[in-house]
Amino acid sequence: MAKVIHVKDLQKQFGKTHVLRGISCDIAPQEVVCVIGPSGSGKSTFLRCLNALEKPDGGEVVVNGLAVHDPKTNLNTLRAGVGMVFQRFNLFPHMTVLENLTMAPMSLKGLSKAEAVSRAEKLLQKVGLIDKIDAWPSSLSGGQQQRVAIARALAMEPSIILFDEPTSALDPELVGEVLAVMKQLALEGMTMVIVTHEMGFAREVADRVVFIDQGVIQEQGPPSQLFTAPQNPRTKEFLSKVL
Ligand code: ADP
Ligand code: MG
């Protein structure tokens, strides 16, 4: 199987807390994987290991052919291929929407200002926010800020985007507009790993759902299978609380 993410026996500890206890997971190009599980089970830590924001204590993480554990790997090169969207829209507050989108492509990818602006305009069209190009982040709704954050991630032309509970901080009426943008990306073939509590979205959009609990993958499978006929008692118990 072709794979863009290869994780084998991933271990991560914080002091005495053994958070990831042997996670193995390969992800194929254009695959959409939703990661679900209880709070504190290691979902964010897993995601952060995928773009080397956390250093694994053991096991292998290979992303786009670059091994996180290999000291020769340039982690900035690795991260440039992996976009990340967090729960809290962390736009740069002192920059306009346009500046948020053009800064990294100009400074890290060497785009000219004209190229970066043109790319930003296209992406703002895509997420439905071209009219906000000169706005300050603080003037936008949470849903709009999160759509800008997605556009900003896309501006680096990553091959993979990681989402960590991208709608958890939003008012309920703003969740749909963000999920719609994510669904569009999935349809266009972006490889996505999404930690989410939006089970309806996972059911509709995910190719595979991964249930993490107690630092291991307890169960995984296509949503049709995992949501309707979970095999592991822990999955059943978790789903009974969230569905
Ligand atoms: P989830 O995203 O599933 O809620 P996390 O990956 O954020 O879980 O956290 C898993 C566990 O690791 C929690 O007990 C959390 O307190 C701990 N943890 C996460 N990051 C750190 C850190 N930087 N330092 C110490 N403990 C951490
Ligand atoms: Mg988390």
Q: How confident is the model over 21-35, as pLDDT tens digits? A: 999 999 999 999 999
Report which bound ligand comes closest to the CA of 165: 2
What is the spatial distance between Cα 4 and Cα 202, in angstroms, rounded to a whole number?
A: 21
Report which bound ligand comes closest to the CA of 46: 1
Q: Helix, strand, or coil here: 51? A: coil
Number of neighbouring beta carbons within 10 Å of residue 199: 17
Distance 236 CA to ligand 2 centre (A): 21
Percent of the chain with pLDDT over 90: 97
HEC sequence for 156-225 = CCCCEEEEECCCCCCCHHHHHHHHHHHHHHHHCCCEEEEECCCHHHHHHHCCEEEEEECCEEEEEECHHH
Note the pLDDT tens digit of each residue in 97-151.
Answer: 999 999 999 999 999 999 999 999 999 999 999 999 999 999 999 999 999 999 9
Q: Among 35, 44, 55, 216, which is best to mutate for testing ligand 1, by the most ligand atoms less than 8 A from CB?
A: 44
What is the spatial distance between Cα 193 and Cα 3, in angstroms, rounded to a whole number?
A: 13
* Ligand 1 atom index nearest CA of 212: 3
CA–CA distances in Å: residue 92 to residues 88, 96, 97, 103, 133 = 12, 8, 9, 10, 14
pLDDT of the residue at 90: 87
Spatial contact of 147 and 126, defined as CB atoms under 8 Å apart? no
What mean pLDDT comes out for the span 60-89?
A: 93
Indicate if ligand 1 lies below 6 Å from the C-beta of 55. no
Indicate if ligand 1 lies below 6 Å from the C-beta of 218. no
Assess whether pLDDT exceeds 70 at residue 1. Answer: no
DSSP conformation class of 33? E
Average pLDDT, the chain: 96
Residues having C-beta closer than 5 Å to ion ligand 2: 43-44
**Does the reported pTM lie above 0.90?**
yes
ipTM of predicted assembly, 2 dp = 0.98
What is the spatial distance between Cα 222 and Cα 240, in angstroms, rounded to a whole number?
A: 18
Indicate if ligand 1 lies below 6 Å from the C-beta of 44. yes
Which amino acid is residue 54, in one-letter code? E
* Ligand 1 atom index nearest CA of 43: 3
Q: If you take atom 18 of ligand 1, which residue's CA is the nearest one?
A: 14
pLDDT of the residue at 243: 85
